[in-house]
């Protein structure tokens, strides 16, 4: 059975929180335009959802030694990433609507 590495999980959570605040974690910063950033984000959410689906199927069929906690953690990561992506999309649409409705 795989054990959950709490230290690694905490590091990931801190990096995600820093990204949400607009801060850059201690990694090399690469120049990217908005389109590339958006594409990478959607790809990452898609990857998390795929991993979640595979973990659920493996747990249900018994082909994996993952614990229920690990499966639930994977599902929650995918859910949070998707909800975050939806909120960002809503903010971008709202900003676009505000700009369009501005008088010239």
Asked whether the beta carbons of 77 and 93 are under 8 A apart, the reply is no
**1 inside domain:** no
Number of domains making up the chain: 1
Out of 11-15, 17-21, 27-31, 89-93, the most confident range is 89-93
Place of tokens 């990452």: 44
Domain presence at residue 88:
yes
What DSSP character marks residue 102? S
- Structural domain range at position 34: 6-100
Task: State the pLDDT confidence band at 1, using cuts at 50, 70 and 90.
Answer: very low
Mean pLDDT value of segment 81-102: 92
Distance CA 2, CA 77 (A): 17
Tens of pLDDT, residue by residue over 16-27, are 777 777 665 555
pTM recorded for the entire structure: 0.63
Would you say residue 78 has pLDDT above 50?
yes
The pLDDT of residue 36 is 83
């Amino acid at each position: 059975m795989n054990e959950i590495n709490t230290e690694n999980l905490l590091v990931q959570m801190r990096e995600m929180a820093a990204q949400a605040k607009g801060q850059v974690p201690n990694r090399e910063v690469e120049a990217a335009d908005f389109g590339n950033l958006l594409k990478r984000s959607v790809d990452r959410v898609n990857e998390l959802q795929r991993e979640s689906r595979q973990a659920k199927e493996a747990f249900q069929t018994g082909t994996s030694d993952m614990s229920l906690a690990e499966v639930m953690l994977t599902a929650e990561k995918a859910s949070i990433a998707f909800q975050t992506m939806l909120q960002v999309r809503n903010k971008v649409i709202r900003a676009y609507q505000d700009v369009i409705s501005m008088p010239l």
